[in-house]
Structure 1
Amino acid sequence: MKRIICFLFLFLLFSCNTTHYFVYSKNHTYGIDFSNGKWLVGEIEANPYAKDKLTTLVLKDFSEYLGERVKYSLTEKSLLLPKQVPLNPSKSTILELKKGASFDYYVNIKCKNAKNDLTGFEFPDHFYYKKQMSFAEVTLEVYDLNLGEIIYSQTSGGSIEDENSFTNKPTTTVIVGCYNKIINDIKKKSIKTMSK
């Protein structure tokens, strides 16, 4: 009897909180070699509610691979970097980042979100529109500052039905869920080393 009640509770829990995620394959979706170099996580572009939570997650996840070799741009005082770095930058833009920072790799993360507005989102054709939904999209790119190349690029999109959400910040939930899809992709494909 306890098993049936537990099963029903889990069914209701997951069926009520309807969340959908999609990962878009882009160029440079093979893994990342974390075995060398100094890494810098740029300021994450996200809404204020999600930014702190996402920044904490990103630094925790990258620290698992890099230890003390990863830093956050907002805590480094001596950097001469632009506040925002565009996605899919040119080689010359990436090489300019190297001049402003003594790092080997740069992590660029941008989030966009909306309520009931799919304009500018790349959801697959079969995705359908529902009332009172929060949509989000997260893109994570890694640049090799020495070569001036993008070595990883992935975007994940997602949605949640606001009225069925168990949180009062459904957009943050979707943003974190999208990021988790990307970091899971990185964990599956990347060269893992012990951080020093």
Structure 2
Amino acid sequence: MTNYFVISKYHTQGIDFSNGKWLIGEIEANPYAKDKMTNLVLKDFSDYLQDRVKYSLDEKSLLLPSQVPLNPSKSMILDLKKGANFDYFVNIKCKNAKNDLSGFEFPDHFYYKKQMSYAEVTLQVYDLNLGEIVYSQTVGGSIEDDSSLTNTPTTTIIVGTYNKIINDIKKKSIKPTM
């Protein structure tokens, strides 16, 4: 049984995909989920942006830090513009735990299970021209897991939590006219 819940919603009015060049930063996820998440994110954003979206690891001429923290300052966002010359930057962080819940805060004292996998995904979009966060949402999920030797459940939760966020974006966003 899988449970998903929104942890934080800031700047969730939707995204205007109608203009600009977009850069997706390196997705921070465990090695089991990273490739799957990268392919999924590139596909979803390409559906909106076609050739106006690039993946930072495929662009060799960029001057970017290897990891961009969540909720960066305005000056850091403007520095991303200088190093990348894109209009928007997508930052995705995936955290997961299996039987170690000490690093996670559960809203409303979410129930604990002895054998539980937990993950959360944060997706933020930065307008590099204005130096602002224009979209930010974090979704968490958990699954009761009888097998403590596999990482598949946390990968499933990571993809599921990302899907909750992308569905929110699809409902609220301005799609480009083709």
Whether these two folds match at TM > 0.5 is yes
State the match for 2:167 in structure 1. Answer: 184
Distance 2:16 2:104 in 1: 30
Gaps of 5+ in 1: 1-17
Q: Secondary structure at the match of 1:125?
A: helix
Instruction: Give me the whole-angstrom Cα distance separating, in 2, the residues matched to 1:110 and 1:139.
Output: 5
Query: Where does 1:22-61 land on structure 2 (aligned, <5 Å)?
Result: 22-61=5-44
Partners of 2:104 and 2:24 lie apart in 1 by 24
Equivalent position of 1:193 in the other structure: 176
- 2:38 matched to 1:63? no
1:139 alignment counterpart: 122
* Whole-angstrom CA distance in 2 between matches of 1:122 and 1:39: 32
Larger Rg: 1
1:93 aligns with 2:86: no
Q: What is the number of residues matched between the two proteins? A: 177
- Distance of 1:68 and 1:194 partners within structure 2: 14
Deviations 1:18-66 (A, max 9, x none): 0000012422111000000000000000000000000000000000100
Q: Which is strand-richer, 1 or 2? A: 2
Q: Give % identity.
A: 83
Q: Which residue of 1 aligns with 2:59?
A: 76
The amino acid that maps onto 2:20 is G
Q: Which runs of 5+ in 2 are unaligned?
A: none
Q: Which contiguous aligned blocks of 4+ residues in structure 1 show a shift greater than 6 angstroms?
A: none
CA distances 1:68-88 after superposition (whole Å, capped 9, x unpaired) = 000000000110000000000
Task: Tell me the distance in 2 between the aligned counterparts of 1:164 and 1:50.
Answer: 18
RMSD: 1.6
Matching residue's letter, 1:73: S
Q: Is the 8 A contact 1:39 1:103 kept in 2?
A: yes
Paired residue type of 2:94: C
Contact 1:121 1:137 in 2 (8 A): no
Shift of 1:102: 1.4
**SS of the residue 2:156 aligns to:** helix
Q: Bigger CA drift: 133-142 or 109-118?
A: 109-118
Q: Displacement of 1:124 after TM fit? A: 2.0
Shift of 1:192: 1.3
TM-score (norm 2): 0.95
**Could you tell me the TM-score, scaled by structure 1's length?**
0.86
Deviation at 1:168, TM superposition (A): 6.0
Partners of 2:118 and 2:169 in 1: how far apart? 23
Q: 1:175 is matched with which residue?
A: 158
Q: Residue 156 of structure 1 aligns to which amino acid in structure 2?
A: V
Give 1:20's aligned residue. 3
Q: Counterpart in 1 of 2:106? A: 123
